[in-house]
Structure 1
Amino acid sequence: MSSPARLIAALFLAWLSWLPPAAAQQAPPAADVPTLEAVTVQGEQPGPGLWRATRDGRTLFILGSLAPLPKDMTWKTDEIDAALTHSGALISLPRVRIKPNTGFFGRLALLPFLIGVRNAPDGATLKDTVPPDVYARWLAVKARYIGNDRGVERYRPIFAVLELYKSAVKKAGLGKSGEIVRTVSDLARRHGVKEVPVEYTLLVDDPRAAIRSFKRSTLDDVSCFAQSVDNIDVQLADMTRRANAWATGDIAALRDERSERQRATCMNAVTEGGVAQRIGLADVPKAVRDTWLATVDATMANNAQAVAIVPIDDLLGDNGYLEALRAKGYAVASPDDPD
């Protein structure tokens, strides 16, 4: 599923879903031909191919999404187009929403509480928060990728990591994966295929108290920060390699245990804290997977064939969605299987 930054952002930026709907920005419409600027891979590329899960004569084709991706690439959509032509449904990319158990005006009342939520408690800076040797290394990578931004010095370490990755990815010439998802949605609409949403909503009963507690609390995120600072150049190289692997359909190269280990460190920093535990944030990944599996069962009960989009890092691994499908009796074939 990506770099650690995207996973942490998915959790923390969910707080922004508490804002009134008018504050949301609508994504621009997709072009007929998706183009994404490349680092090394350019031109028309096949993408990773489709996983195939079959049970009781019914087939689910699965596209693994990835971020970031090469920018100057044209994705050859023949395979996904053909799969959608004979499908009755497209199961959307799983989404998480964290929202207050309150109405519209309750959300408005939360806005003042959200101010400063990413800053360290009690006016502390990164220099105060992380060990001196780690901070010295941070200054070096900050100068290289972020530049002279004093504001980030007031951030909690995990939010500083987000800024570091966002700037580094941009400098590396990598882009977002949203165009891929929009392209698949456009193809589904073109073929008259209904889109089935997968959304898990975590309701927070006392959001004001949760935000106040979060602002006062400390996160065990120094380890995540140190790993990210020390590994940023290696991570960028890995992101580039995996982006190119996605584009060219190199499934073996998409399996990345080092990224998984760092992702686990940063995820634990987010989900194992007291505030996160109290609102149930630690349970979200399993809840999302269970929601997706239930959606698959319901969709396949009514369709002989369907297509799904899943972040590729959620798809792979011992605890991934593919293994969960096997446990439910599906026969799963990888795009690089000989047959």
Structure 2
Amino acid sequence: MHGRISSRWTAPAGAWAVALQLALAGAVAAAPPTPAPPAVPPAVVPPVVDLATLQVTGEQPGPGLWKVTTPQGHVLSILGTVTPIPAGVQWRSDEVRQAIAGADHVLGSPGWTLDMDVGFFKGLTLLPLARSAMRDPEGRTLQQQLPAATYARWEGLKQSYLGRDRGVEKERPMIASGRLYTAFLKGNGLRNGSEVSDALKAAYKARGLKSEDTRLKLKVDDARAALKEMQATDLDDAACFERTLDVVEFQAPVLRERANAWALGDVAALRRLSMAETVRTCVESIEDSSIARRRGWTNLEARGKAQWLAKVDAALATHAQTFATVPVSLLVGPSNYIDALVARGYQLEAPPE
């Protein structure tokens, strides 16, 4: 039995996963889950400021597909994904089902992954070190690490969404902010996109298709050495922490509107509501760390994009119908993947906005 850690740039939560993955380095994925501490009832969650932003519920189609065609007539159908999505939505897209039914190949979502297999029993032995790596290397609490004004903001938001959780105070700022963000989503009627990914996996399985991994592989040969290195590495994650607090404190209406836009297939709104800058800030705090520079884990966004484009070229050269998933932020934002495909000479049919 083996565990593998992976990361994608799908949402702010994806950036926080970067830190978690560097800290855990495969150990937690390989080991059985440990019992969670008793839940502390949270305080009353602050109300959403924009009362006009109503939550979409029920069966929704999501956005239409971007279709890329070669001169030979081979087609790549791309579903843009978003996380979080409204908690009350049941995703159902006839267009996607038809595209998968006609596909003879599937490409997974772009991003990057720490390429390291950790056996089950070895994973168990690494768990204490992994948990230690999630804490400040100098043993400081959040209050000791953060400016007084920032900590005061954190303390208020933590009380609203995490209650009296004391363990989080000992974690690195980026790790703590990830926990806050997760609780914030739940408190605002949002959830990750696992329902969509589960539905896609079922559709692939029904067609006998297996998704090809398109992520950039960052090879790690020694899990224990990587964890010890992470344990001793100080991350300059203050900017990421501040951006996270901004999202939690001020942008619940934006996230809800963005989630609704995805559920309703409103591409124009998705283009307007991109949160790529928040993700980029958190990823950069990892790339600027000493451990990332020593191991060559830099320029990940550009390298991941180049790898995905190469996979697309190979798929379109050999398969008549290919289906792929890509985060919407990478399809509609600056330096997006769609423009790169058009620059390669492919024809594009975009979904209606």
Where on the TM-score scale, by shorter chain, does this alignment land: which range? 0.7 to 0.9
Q: Distance in 2 between matches of 1:24 and 1:287?
A: 33
Q: Distance in 1 between matches of 2:247 and 2:28?
A: 38
- Asked whether 1:222 is paired with 2:234, we answer no
Specify the alignment match of 2:58 in structure 1: 43
Specify the alignment match of 1:167 in structure 2: 183
- Asked whether 1:152 is paired with 2:160, we answer no
- Asked whether 1:52 is paired with 2:67, we answer yes
Deviation (angstroms), 1:81: 1.3
Q: List alignment gaps of at least 5 residues for structure 1.
A: 26-38
**Preserved contact between residue 90 and residue 307 of structure 1 (Cα < 8 Å):** yes
Structure 1 residues 69 and 257 mapped into 2: Cα distance closer, same or farther (>3 Å)? closer
Structure 1 residues 211 and 10 mapped into 2: Cα distance closer, same or farther (>3 Å)? closer
Moved more, 14-23 or 270-279: 14-23
- Asked whether 1:76 is paired with 2:84, we answer no
Specify the alignment match of 1:270 in structure 2: 286
- Asked whether 1:6 is paired with 2:28, we answer no
Deviations 1:261-285 (A, max 9, x none): 2222211112111111112222433
- The 3-state SS of whatever aligns with 1:298 is helix
**Preserved contact between residue 15 and residue 99 of structure 1 (Cα < 8 Å):** no
Specify the alignment match of 1:299 in structure 2: 315
Q: CA RMSD in A?
A: 2.7
Q: Distance in 2 between matches of 1:100 and 1:197?
A: 15
1:10-159 to 2 correspondences below 5 Å: 10=18, 12-13=20-21, 16=24, 18-19=26-27, 22-23=30-31, 40-56=55-71, 57-94=73-110, 96-100=112-116, 110-159=126-175
**Preserved contact between residue 30 and residue 120 of structure 2 (Cα < 8 Å):** no
Q: Distance in 2 between matches of 1:292 and 1:325?
A: 11
Q: Distance in 2 between matches of 1:98 and 1:55?
A: 33
**Preserved contact between residue 124 and residue 154 of structure 1 (Cα < 8 Å):** yes
1:153-232 to 2 correspondences below 5 Å: 153-232=169-248
1:249 pairs, out of 265, 272, 290, with: 265
Q: Distance in 1 between matches of 2:76 and 2:311?
A: 12
- The 3-state SS of whatever aligns with 2:300 is helix
TM-score, structure 1 normalization: 0.86
Moved more, 205-214 or 313-322: 205-214
- Asked whether 1:310 is paired with 2:318, we answer no
Q: List alignment gaps of at least 5 residues for structure 2.
A: 1-8, 34-53
Q: Which amino acid aligns with 2:238?
A: V
TM-score, structure 2 normalization: 0.82
Deviation (angstroms), 1:112: 4.2
Q: Distance in 2 between matches of 1:20 and 1:3?
A: 22
Structure 1 residues 223 and 167 mapped into 2: Cα distance closer, same or farther (>3 Å)? same
**Preserved contact between residue 157 and residue 221 of structure 1 (Cα < 8 Å):** yes
Q: Distance in 2 between matches of 1:13 and 1:214?
A: 10
- The 3-state SS of whatever aligns with 2:333 is coil
How many residues matched? 325
Deviations 1:201-246 (A, max 9, x none): 2112454444333322321111221222233133322211111000
Q: Which amino acid aligns with 2:62?
A: G
Q: Distance in 2 between matches of 1:58 and 1:255?
A: 27
